[in-house]
């Protein structure tokens, strides 16, 4: 026997219908009990036949069996039994939905269920208004036994200019049988409540619906179509694309902002993390943290240019010790980190591109204890190969006689030179520093020193530099390796014009730091200085959890575990603002046209309340909006999840404000150059004169668009409106 796969029941006469029962696996024998509901009003002869089909399509049958249908007395008067299941996210975005399931069954002798439906009341206590929506699903033929119908109802009756907006939803489910009997349900237990009517929609008579209180928040969260872990986001405004680094899938996801749909992902290197655009805007750098390289994506072709993958070299620094004895002088060389300790990590993490096109990037710490670093990758015009240099200027050195701390060279050689003076053999030490001309690895250059000639390592270094080396040396000192490296996630942020890059260390041990780099050509890595984050709040446990820099580098925001700190390029604290539940969450950004902040280096800077704004993620599922001159929270945007990674800000697209009245102001940088137009928020550049809700700039005008990675594993896209900017303003 081949086994039965399918049974077909055919009814002819008073009722013409066919029922088919299929089985997942063929069986040798089977018994099936089924019930057929006879609609009210039918009568006459009824023939029932059955056919069985096996796995090789051989069919056998039986019947017909004759029956006679007669009209009953009172008919079906028993309503179905129904129950209701309702669910929704704890906080709802305007594109989210409420999930409703109506389940139940008709009685065994019933006429069968022909409709399942729902009614939702969206009640605003603040506005004292209620809107009603309803929907249904029909069953043909009528269903006997258990039925289930699922519905997805988009949120409604929400005031998008007053988010968060809390509504109370009241949901009723119902079932209707063929005889016209209706049962309503407001619970997840079976009920037979009397059906009533409200504005043409079915409700439970005399009963409130199942209640669901929900806050509605700003933003639209984008989840990856096939999962993964997002580490960074970058917005290509020219092509309207959002790029998301997917660490676990070794690719960069491409989300098209115009169609709000995902395009084909771009395969890159191992464990992609940080993203940064090239200065010409044609390429996207991707820091592959699972390897020692960076990918380059062509933004027009939307693919990696394999031949342009940037390969980074190993990095070693050295301590040189001179031991001078009565008859012998020797050098001892200490490559650092030593073999007994973790090495410098070469695995790129976050990145930014400076105005010369060089890539400033951090390297990640590893589980085996490898130390994170900050580096500069550059390519000299006309050179044979790219170069990478380690930032060392921020590192501490330990004073030590007869020691020299050296960086940015390839290797060191030592030898002994014996000189016979009478019966005495004098041994002196020769030192050779090896390097190459930056960009030309085959052009080896050397610097030499011999103690017999009274020469020291500084003489070898001077000779090397005179031949074109970029070697770095500190005399009378040893490297303090822990102070050079980083022990936690290290953020990197660049100014809009590429003139400055900030590097923020997240570690607590030995202490978190912020480094500032002013863009310089070639291999120059001089830092303007660095500041320990503890200096900002006299709290050694403070960390960096986000970093943002304004357009011309005149102000940087550091998101800590307690507050947002605002520092100028000379690393002087300009102000701070507390962050609610700051130990949870991350992310900080400045208005894309924030520029010309007044500092000691820029004494003629101008306060511009329209653009001097910061956006900081909090643990309260909000993005706080801070005036960076008053250091006052003046607004906030409620979102669904917590921002846990970098926060990016761009100007709105033209269509975001189409049909709105949105006045604009011209913005210039510290050099007086025009850099763009911003939506005007204040009258006459006066903080105390915010524009009224329906003034020359309406409250619904989008001022900035934000993008941030969130605790849900997605990226939230937030339109920050004028109403959000001024939500807590003292004059509103």
Residue 26: pLDDT above 90? Answer: no
Of 109 and 60, more confident = 60
> How far, in whole angstroms, is CA 445 from its chain's centroid?
46
| Strands 643-650 vs 348-353: parallel, antiparallel or unpaired | unpaired
Beta bridge partners of 590: 614
- Residue 22 tokens, joined: 């299929």
**For the sheet containing 44-54, what is the strand order?**
17-27, 4-13, 44-54, 59-69
Distances (CA, A) of 417 to 314, 318, 453, 464, 465: 32, 23, 11, 21, 25
Q: What is the pLDDT of residues 711-726, one digit of tens each?
A: 988 889 999 999 999 9
> Rounded to whole angstroms, how far apart are CA atoms 537 and 249?
39
Residue 537: pLDDT above 50? Answer: no
Q: What are phi and psi of 248, to 5 degrees?
A: -85, -10
| Residue that has been written with the tokens 């390592």 in this structure | 457
Name the helix (H) or strand (E) containing 462.
helix 457-466
What proportion of the chain, given as a percentage, has pLDDT over 70? 95
| Residue that has been written with the tokens 């010409």 in this structure | 280
Q: How confident is the model at residue 631 (pLDDT cuts 50, 70, 90)?
A: very high
Report pLDDT for 368: 63
Residue 534: pLDDT above 50? Answer: no
Residue 157: pLDDT above 50? Answer: yes
Report pLDDT for 77: 86
For 150: left if phi > 0, alpha if psi spans -120 to 50, otherwise beta; the answer is: beta
Beta strands in 654-731 (DSSP E): 664-668, 674-679, 702-710, 715-721
Q: What is the pLDDT of residues 257-283, one digit of tens each?
A: 988 889 999 999 999 999 999 999 999
Report pLDDT for 36: 78
Report pLDDT for 532: 54
The highest-confidence range among 127-141, 314-328, 358-372, 534-548, by mean pLDDT, is: 127-141
DSSP state of 690: B
Report pLDDT for 382: 80
> Rounded to whole angstroms, how far apart are CA atoms 148 and 636?
42
Report pLDDT for 127: 93
3-state secondary structure of 534: helix
Residue range 571-600: average pLDDT?
93
Burial of 280 (0-12, 13-18, 19+ CB in 10 A): exposed
CATH architecture designation of domain 81-217: Sandwich (2.60)
Q: How confident is the model at residue 353 (pLDDT cuts 50, 70, 90)?
A: very high
Report pLDDT for 571: 84
Report pLDDT for 469: 92
> Rounded to whole angstroms, how far apart are CA atoms 554 and 254?
32
Residue range 217-221: average pLDDT?
94
Report pLDDT for 538: 41
> Rounded to whole angstroms, how far apart are CA atoms 190 and 585?
43
Residue range 10-32: average pLDDT?
85
Q: How confident is the model at residue 256 (pLDDT cuts 50, 70, 90)?
A: very high
For 482: left if phi > 0, alpha if psi spans -120 to 50, otherwise beta; the answer is: alpha
Lowest-pLDDT choice from 300-304, 343-347, 700-704: 343-347
- Residue 152 tokens, joined: 């997805």
Q: What is the pLDDT of residues 465-505, one digit of tens each?
A: 999 999 999 999 999 888 888 878 888 999 999 999 998 88
Residue 577: pLDDT above 90? Answer: yes
Residues whose CB falls within 8 Å of the CB of residue 598, separated by 6 or more in sequence, listed in order: 554, 604, 605, 606, 607
The highest-confidence range among 454-463, 524-533, 565-574, by mean pLDDT, is: 454-463
> Rounded to whole angstroms, how far apart are CA atoms 433 and 717?
53
3-state secondary structure of 731: coil
Residue 630: pLDDT above 70? Answer: yes
Q: What is the pLDDT of residues 498-514, one digit of tens each?
A: 999 998 887 655 556 78
Residues whose CB falls within 8 Å of the CB of residue 37, separated by 6 or more in sequence, listed in order: 106, 110, 111, 112, 141, 142, 144, 178
The model's pTM: 0.81
Report pLDDT for 700: 96
Calculated CA dihedral for residues 68, 73, 74, 77, nearest 10 degrees: -20
CATH architecture designation of domain 223-311: Beta Barrel (2.40)
> Rounded to whole angstroms, how far apart are CA atoms 28 and 437?
83
Q: Tell which residue, 92, 88, 105, has the closest CA to residue 35.
A: 105
Of 341 and 484, more confident = 484
Residue 73: pLDDT above 50? Answer: no
Cα angle at 100 between 96 and 101, to 5 degrees? 150
**For the sheet containing 527-532, what is the strand order?**
490-494, 500-505, 513-518, 527-532
Determine how many CB atoms are found less than 10 A away from the CB of residue 314.
9
Report pLDDT for 393: 83
Residue 96: pLDDT above 80? Answer: yes
Report pLDDT for 108: 77
Report pLDDT for 1: 57
Rg (CA), the chain: 36
Report pLDDT for 48: 92
CB 210 within 8 A of CB 86: yes
Residue 438: pLDDT above 90? Answer: no
Calculated CA dihedral for residues 294, 297, 298, 304, nearest 10 degrees: 100
Distance from the first to the final alpha carbon of the chain: 83
CB 503 within 8 A of CB 373: no
Q: How confident is the model at residue 531 (pLDDT cuts 50, 70, 90)?
A: low
- Residue 481 tokens, joined: 């390796």
Residue range 135-144: average pLDDT?
93
């Amino acid at each position: 026997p081949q086994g039965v796969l399918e049974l077909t029941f055919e009814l002819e006469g008073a009722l013409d219908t066919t029922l088919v029962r299929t089985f997942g696996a063929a069986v040798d024998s089977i018994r099936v009990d089924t019930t057929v509901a006879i609609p009210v009003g039918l009568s006459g002869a009824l023939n029932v036949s059955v056919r069985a089909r096996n796995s090789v399509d051989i069919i056998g049958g039986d019947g017909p069996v004759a029956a006679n249908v007669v009209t009953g007395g009172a008919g079906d008067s028993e309503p179905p039994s129904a129950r209701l299941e309702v669910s929704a996210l704890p906080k709802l975005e305007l594109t989210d939905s409420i999930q409703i399931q109506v389940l139940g069954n008709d009685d065994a002798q019933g006429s069968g269920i022909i409709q399942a439906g729902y009614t939702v009341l969206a009640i605003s206590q603040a506005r004292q208004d209620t809107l009603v929506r309803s929907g249904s699903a029909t069953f043909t033929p009528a269903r006997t036994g258990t039925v289930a119908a699922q519905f997805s109802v988009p949120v409604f009756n929400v005031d998008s200019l007053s988010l968060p907006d809390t509504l109370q939803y009241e949901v009723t489910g119902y079932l209707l049988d063929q005889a016209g009997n209706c049962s309503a349900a407001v619970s997840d237990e079976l009920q037979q409540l009397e059906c009533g009517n409200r504005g043409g929609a079915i409700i439970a008579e005399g009963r409130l619906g199942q209640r669901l209180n929900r806050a509605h928040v700003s933003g639209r969260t984008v989840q990856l179509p096939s999962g993964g872990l997002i580490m960074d986001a970058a917005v290509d405004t020219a092509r309207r694309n959002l790029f998301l680094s997917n660490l676990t899938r070794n690719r960069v996801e491409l989300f098209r902002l115009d169609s709000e749909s995902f395009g084909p992902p771009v395969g890159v290197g191992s464990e992609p993390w940080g993203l940064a655009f090239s200065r010409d805007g044609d390429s996207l750098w991707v820091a592959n943290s699972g390897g020692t390289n960076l990918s380059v994506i062509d933004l027009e072709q939307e693919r990696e240019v394999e031949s342009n993958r940037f390969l980074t070299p190993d990095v070693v620094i050295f301590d040189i010790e001179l031991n001078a004895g009565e008859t012998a002088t020797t050098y001892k060389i200490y490559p650092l980190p030593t073999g007994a300790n973790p090495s410098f990590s070469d695995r790129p993490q976050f990145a930014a591109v400076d105005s010369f096109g060089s890539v400033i990037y951090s390297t990640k710490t590893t589980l085996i204890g490898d130390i994170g670093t900050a580096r500069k990758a550059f390519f000299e015009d006309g050179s044979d190969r790219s170069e990478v240099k380690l930032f060392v200027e921020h590192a501490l050195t330990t004073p030590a006689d007869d020691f020299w701390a050296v960086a940015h060279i390839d290797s060191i050689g030592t030898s002994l030179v014996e000189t016979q003076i009478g019966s005495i053999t004098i041994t002196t030490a020769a030192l050779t520093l090896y390097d190459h001309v930056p960009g030309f690895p085959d052009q080896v250059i050397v610097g030499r020193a011999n103690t017999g000639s009274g020469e020291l390592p500084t003489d070898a270094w001077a000779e090397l530099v005179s031949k074109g080396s970029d070697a770095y040396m500190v005399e009378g000192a040893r490297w303090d390796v822990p102070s050079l490296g980083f022990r936690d996630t290290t953020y990197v942020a660049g100014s809009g014009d590429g003139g400055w890059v900030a590097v923020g260390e997240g570690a607590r041990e030995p202490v978190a730091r912020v480094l500032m780099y002013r863009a310089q050509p070639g291999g120059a890595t001089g830092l303007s200085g660095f500041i320990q984050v503890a200096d900002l709040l006299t709290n050694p446990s403070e960390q960096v959890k986000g970093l943002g820099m304004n357009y011309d580098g005149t102000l940087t925001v550091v998101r800590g575990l307690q507050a947002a700190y605002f520092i100028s390029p000379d690393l002087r604290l300009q102000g701070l603002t507390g962050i609610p539940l700051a130990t949870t969450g991350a992310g900080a950004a400045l208005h894309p046209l924030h520029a010309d902040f007044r500092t000691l280096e820029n004494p003629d800077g101008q306060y511009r309340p329209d653009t001097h704004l910061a956006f900081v993620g909090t643990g309260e599922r909000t993005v706080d909006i801070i005036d960076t001159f008053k250091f006052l929270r003046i607004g906030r945007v409620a979102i669904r999840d917590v921002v846990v990674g970098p926060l990016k800000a761009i100007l709105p697209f033209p269509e975001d404000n189409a049909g709105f009245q949105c006045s604009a102001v011209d913005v210039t940088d510290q050099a007086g150059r025009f850099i763009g137009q911003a939506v005007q928020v204040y009258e006459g550049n006066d903080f105390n004169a915010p524009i009224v809700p329906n003034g020359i700039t309406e409250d619904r005008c989008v001022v900035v668009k934000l993008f941030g990675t969130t605790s849900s594993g997605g990226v939230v896209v937030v339109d920050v409106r004028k109403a959000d900017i001024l939500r807590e303003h003292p004059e509103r």
